[in-house]
Chains A and B, each alone.
Chain A
Amino acid sequence: MSDFDIRYVSRLARVSLTPVEEEKLGNQLGLILGYIAQLKEVDVNGVEPLAHAIPLVNVTRPDVPTGSLDHEEALRNAPARSNGLFVVPKIVE
């Protein structure tokens, strides 16, 4: 798989890999991609791309408030909190 770059993919996924892992996972993911690539051989001319596996459209709900989580409950799994905010390492873009 020439267009597959394990370092790029792991960086996008925010997963840091050791060189050994890069080698191992790179090979494994390459095999998976190769397997899936067989689908490219199917002639799909005239076939509409599928947006969803279930043939269902227009699933909506009315615009009516149904309430929110209790504030304490919402923050229960926060890594850290301050003044009602979820506190995370500083990331500015």
Chain B
Amino acid sequence: MAYLKGAMEYEPVIGLETHVQLKTRTKMWCGCANVYGAPPNTQVCPVCLGFPGALPVANEEALRLTVLTGLLLHCEIPRFAKFDRKNYFYPDSSKNYQVTQYDRPSTREGWMEFEFDGEGAADGIARVRITRAHLEEDVGKSTHFDRHSGVDFNRAGVPLLEIVSEPELRSAEMTYAYLKTLTQLLAHAGVSDCDLEKGMVRCDVNVSVRPKGETRLGAKIEIKNMNSFSGVRRALEYEIPRQIAALRRGETLRQETRRWDDDSGITEPMRTKEDAHDYRYFPEPDLMPFAPTESWLEEMRARVPELPLDRKRRFVRDYGLPEGDAEFFRHHVELGNFFEQAVKAGGASKPLANWVINTLVASLSAQAKTVADLRFTPGQLAELTELTASGRISSKIAQEVYTVMWDSGEAPNSIVARLGLAQVSDAGAIEELCRQAIAALPGPVDDFRKGKVAALNSLKGQVMKLSKGKANPQLAGELLEKLLRAG
């Protein structure tokens, strides 16, 4: 039997409980400011300090952000949700309970898709089901000294969303990708700043292993209070082989809570199931249930922004852009919007994407400007690409026109007319310039006649120079060749 166990293949099963601080101006139940970094115990009041008799009142924006998150994660939004007390004693929770949503959460049964290559994904996309995202309150922050602990309640009562995934993550890497996407999504939608440095995202990782092919879950090991994504990945890279090795040795794993030690890179036992907490949840009598109406939900649906991954897919599908360009516009929303407006104004998508991603980005960063500072419109950029596409100006002249347009916001057509920049496609005029070039550069002429075709470029360059960049380069090339072969 021990031999069989040793030979068996195991697989990990991972689920996450991710806590995210909501981006509100005030706390969940009181009008104290939700700010980071204030001196200890300066953003506190009778409600968040848990004084007897103080009554909480729900922050409407926190309820909106909760439902918005539910919609982003394709969750069902129940028409009835309520708050419950989770009872436990710890100095960071002065009420001796935390208000949360137990059996009637504000959102449930959704899913999230994210880009990932590996087990658990198909065609580079993984989908993980979301059990629920419920609203609760953060607790105070303790600092431990030699024999005492100090508590700062500024964070107590800050609205916190707990997003629970189904145990469908299959590796440390996949878990990392899930966390990255989830937090990008929430930051993108304005639900949370998701600033890890400020402790705005914390998660509990549930991980078990089981023989491959087994459908039942193994003993659940919970790693508590992780505050960095790389920490989560490292903890799993440690914990999964640890559990597999224990099973291979013939040991039985028991449900337990473990702590990740980031310095030594190991997890260590915290408590077993026997001393698990008994939270004695019951409905919070100080708060009324929340029952969103259809019109309220309609307002929330209107607030749902396009998901980053959907945006990328749309840019590929609707504009025929390569993956790389679409990836760029997924992250640079303002520039992507500018690009879309330019396409709607009549420009061709690929040339416009090139202008935005190469030229516009470079000039914005060189001058430390944003899209909002631009003097020219998306329509004008479209006009510029049309001038090049139709052959009225060369791509070199287009750069000149762009510079003028950048400075003044003048329309490209008007710049070209005013500065006489239109490309010369008059064969007679160009032929004259070609003759001048041939007379001026006997060396390359000789080389060309000896069969060195590349020498034509020097002559073409001379024609462009003589025309101040306005000669149609293709026509110039053709005429030069004709003249050289003739003479």
B33-81: which have CB < 8 Å to A?
A: 33, 39-46, 49, 57-63, 80
What residues of B have a CB within 8 angstroms of the CB of A62 in the complex? 60-61
Tally chain A residues at the interface, Cβ within 8 Å: 36
Closest residue on chain A to residue B224 by CB atoms: A93
Q: Please tell me which one of the listed residues A54, A84, A91 contacts residue B91 in the complex, with CB atoms under 8 A apart.
A: A91
Contact B41 A84 (CB under 8 A): yes
- A36 in the interface, Cβ–Cβ < 8 Å? no
Secondary structure of the B side of the interface? loop
- Shortest Cβ distance from A8 into chain B, in angstroms? 8
- B289 in the interface, Cβ–Cβ < 8 Å? yes
What residues of A have a CB within 8 angstroms of the CB of B89 in the complex? 14
Contact A65 B32 (CB under 8 A): yes
B277-318: which have CB < 8 Å to A?
A: 278, 280, 283, 285, 287-292
- A57 in the interface, Cβ–Cβ < 8 Å? yes
- Shortest Cβ distance from B192 into chain A, in angstroms? 14
CA distance A33 to B80 in the complex (A): 30
CA distance A91 to B30 in the complex (A): 27
Closest residue on chain B to residue A92 by CB atoms: B144
Closest residue on chain B to residue A89 by CB atoms: B148
What residues of A have a CB within 8 angstroms of the CB of B87 in the complex? 12
What residues of B have a CB within 8 angstroms of the CB of A67 in the complex? 31-32, 45
- A39 in the interface, Cβ–Cβ < 8 Å? no
Contact A61 B60 (CB under 8 A): yes
CA distance A17 to B209 in the complex (A): 43
- Shortest Cβ distance from A59 into chain B, in angstroms? 4
Known contacts A65-B33, A88-B148: does B82 contact A51 (CB below 8 Å)? Answer: yes
- B25 in the interface, Cβ–Cβ < 8 Å? yes
Interface-lining segment among B150-158, B176-184, B435-443? B150-158
Tally chain B residues at the interface, Cβ within 8 Å: 52
What residues of B have a CB within 8 angstroms of the CB of A74 in the complex? 41-42, 44-45, 49, 153
- A66 in the interface, Cβ–Cβ < 8 Å? yes
Contact B91 A63 (CB under 8 A): no
CA distance A63 to B30 in the complex (A): 9
Contact B41 A58 (CB under 8 A): no
- B143 in the interface, Cβ–Cβ < 8 Å? yes
- B145 in the interface, Cβ–Cβ < 8 Å? yes
CA distance A88 to B148 in the complex (A): 6
Contact B270 A93 (CB under 8 A): yes
Closest residue on chain A to residue B44 by CB atoms: A74
- A82 in the interface, Cβ–Cβ < 8 Å? yes
Known contacts A52-B285, A68-B42: does B59 contact A86 (CB below 8 Å)? Answer: no
- B90 in the interface, Cβ–Cβ < 8 Å? yes
A60-86: CB near B (< 8 Å → 1, else 0) gives 111111111101001100001011111
What residues of B have a CB within 8 angstroms of the CB of A66 in the complex? 26, 30-32
What residues of B have a CB within 8 angstroms of the CB of A89 in the complex? 147-149
What residues of A have a CB within 8 angstroms of the CB of B283 in the complex? 51-52
Closest residue on chain A to residue B62 by CB atoms: A63
Contact B148 A90 (CB under 8 A): yes
What residues of B have a CB within 8 angstroms of the CB of A14 in the complex? 89
- B233 in the interface, Cβ–Cβ < 8 Å? no
B131-166: CB near A (< 8 Å → 1, else 0) gives 000000000000111111111110000000000000
- B24 in the interface, Cβ–Cβ < 8 Å? yes
Closest residue on chain A to residue B88 by CB atoms: A12
Closest residue on chain A to residue B149 by CB atoms: A90
Contact A88 B26 (CB under 8 A): no
Contact B40 A83 (CB under 8 A): yes
A21-70: which have CB < 8 Å to B?
A: 51-54, 56-69
Known contacts A52-B283, A68-B32, A91-B90: does B151 contact A60 (CB below 8 Å)? Answer: no
Point out residues on B near A: beta carbons under 8 Å: 24-26, 30-33, 39-46, 49, 57-63, 80, 82, 87, 89-91, 104, 143-153, 270, 278, 280, 283, 285, 287-292
Could you list 21 examples of A-B contacts with CB < 8 Å? A12-B280, A51-B80, A52-B285, A54-B288, A56-B288, A59-B287, A60-B57, A62-B60, A65-B33, A68-B33, A68-B45, A71-B39, A74-B42, A74-B44, A84-B152, A85-B40, A88-B151, A90-B147, A90-B148, A91-B149, A93-B270
